[in-house]
Amino acid sequence: MYRSQRDEAAASKKFYKQGIDPEDLKKRREESSFSIRKKKREEQMKKRRQIEPPAIPQNTDTTRFSTEEIKYQLENLPHTVALLQSADAKERFKAVVTLRKLLSIEKNPPIDEVIGSGAIPPLVAVLNQDQDANNQFEAAWALTNVASGSTEQTSILLANGGAEAFIGKIGVASSLLVKEQSVWAVGNIAGDSQSCRDYLLSLGAMEILLRETGEDVKPSLRKNVVWSISNLCRGKPAPPFDYIKPAIPVLKGLLDTIDTAIIADACWALSYISDGDDEDKINYILRQGVCPAVVRLLNHQAPSVQTPALRVIGNIVTGEEHQTQIAIESGCLPALKMMLDNNTKKGTKREVCWTLSNITAGNQDQIGAVIQSNVIDSLIQQMSESEFDVRKEAAWAIANATSSATSPQIGELVRRGCIPPLCDLVMVSDIRVVVVSLEGLENILKHGELLKQHNNHINPYAQVMERCGGLQQLEKMNGYPAPIFEKVAGLIRNYFGFAEEHAHTDTNAQSFAFEQSNTEGSNFNF
């Protein structure tokens, strides 16, 4: 469906105005388009269903039902559920194992059928009251898989006291296997929805889980505890800060462990906590010494650690200038440069450039730090040679720098080669990138005017643009929406001494043709 001409004009003005508006230099994260937080990870990590737990009793029946056995057991569910309330522990055990094996079927487990049979209340009762630890373990395993199901299925579990039962088993000196199963279930419930997460927090789940993070805790249990804590921290709207605040110093300490999975989940938890506009949360995180610890992880050998560590730093530098300064003083710039130079993943490079764009949106000292660290060279290289999604984020970083940089800093940006790739990007199909590139070039040309008296009354940066073909590219920008056309005409008139006579704007155009063949597309993407 095509937009109306009026919609197109309004959109072009909107994007032009927002190009690098000083009030909007930071916090430009397009959540749906950043591959670094992929839906795939959300779906895989939010809930974990157990076909088989990490540790099981020696005599546990791990065989799986055949197709015929599944059909038979589903037909006999009422009888199995009745056995859950038998006075005979062996009969209860046989019934709970049957239900666990049904709920552990790898594809399409019959969760609804088990719920419909009325099995949830007696399963919770076995977990809460049965004197046999093996029965408790099997019930916890079965209910964990119910908690891995849909929101509706998880809600039925909660309505029957499942959350209280699991938290109770974590908090008391119960069987270690039952405790680990219960931690897993709490993580699944927390990952289901914000309402489930907040309900668990109101029951004291965070406080109880934090007690199980010490070095003396069994490694597999500790790993599941940290994953569950990360699920209690995630989601929007964010959980009440008072509930998750005690986790921050613990999570910071976990960054020094040797277990990669624990480090990664601790980083993800910190990234969830630091996401958003609450400066007080960021300040508290910084006071706990999180920033230097996370910076050290930016070049961790495991990408599963690098990714959330980068997200934490990205969240910190969207804040106030003093928060960005702490990240710089913690050594983030050399680490980010190394990531940008050595990483081949488009999503990671794009996120690094996005993070740097928030740093270059800072004050002149911070822009100077970016230049002195030589990360500016990496940005210019990415803007010239990388995939388009990376190029446009690098362009934002350079354009942001031009907005507040001193004249000597502008001169250094030009000396390092920022003008040619900015000129190339004025011809791409993404109108926002065109606007940002034009703004960056205009900022540079304005500073060049101050140098005319030392250069035979000629703007030296305009000369650089002419030599790299930038002026020719501006002259070819015909048929653009009026705000863009007026900006281009103004640049030519003000900095090159003449107005482009053949330039024109076609107000009836619905697509925009380019004269160069190396553009990113034939139509603008609004």
187-197 pLDDT tens trace: 999 999 999 99
Dihedral through CA 506, CA 507, CA 513, CA 519, nearest 10? 120
Out of 412, 445, 460, a domain closes at: 412
Using CA atoms, how far apart are residues 309 and 246, in angstroms rounded to an integer?
20
At 36, the pLDDT band (50, 70, 90 cuts) reads very low
Q: Has residue 404 been placed in a domain?
A: yes
Give exposure, 309-330, as e/b (b: 16+ Cβ within 10 Å).
bbbbbbbbbbbeeebbbbbbeb
Examine the domain organization and report whether 514 and 401 are in the same domain.
no
Q: Has residue 349 been placed in a domain?
A: yes
Examine the domain organization and report whether 357 and 432 are in the same domain.
no
Q: Has residue 293 been placed in a domain?
A: no
CA distances from 278 to 194, 284, 292, 417 (A): 18, 10, 20, 37
Examine the domain organization and report whether 399 and 481 are in the same domain.
no
Q: Has residue 257 been placed in a domain?
A: no
Examine the domain organization and report whether 70 and 171 are in the same domain.
yes
Examine the domain organization and report whether 66 and 161 are in the same domain.
yes
pLDDT, one tens digit per residue, over 341-382 is 998 999 999 999 999 999 999 999 999 999 999 999 999 999
Examine the domain organization and report whether 390 and 447 are in the same domain.
no
Examine the domain organization and report whether 388 and 439 are in the same domain.
no
Question: What average pLDDT does range 17-32 have in this prediction?
Answer: 50
Q: Has residue 464 been placed in a domain?
A: yes
Cβ contact 36:351 at 8 Å? yes
Mean pLDDT of the chain: 86
**According to the model, what pLDDT value does residue 507 have?**
38
Percent of the chain with pLDDT over 70: 83
Examine the domain organization and report whether 425 and 408 are in the same domain.
no
Q: Has residue 354 been placed in a domain?
A: yes
Question: Residue 141 — φ and ψ, nearest 5°?
Answer: -65, -45
- Domain residue limits at 512: 418-526
Examine the domain organization and report whether 457 and 357 are in the same domain.
no
CATH code of the domain covering residue 500: 1.25.10.10
Out of 383, 412, 441, a domain closes at: 412
Examine the domain organization and report whether 344 and 457 are in the same domain.
no
CA contacts within 13 A on the Cβ side of 344: 0
Examine the domain organization and report whether 432 and 408 are in the same domain.
no
Question: What average pLDDT does range 32-52 have in this prediction?
Answer: 47
At 25, the pLDDT band (50, 70, 90 cuts) reads low
Q: How many domains does the chain have?
A: 3
Q: Has residue 510 been placed in a domain?
A: yes
Q: Has residue 462 been placed in a domain?
A: yes
Out of 144, 159, 190, a domain closes at: 190
Cβ contact 306:300 at 8 Å? yes
Examine the domain organization and report whether 480 and 499 are in the same domain.
yes
Cα–chain center distance at 361: 21
Place of tokens 């050594």: 331
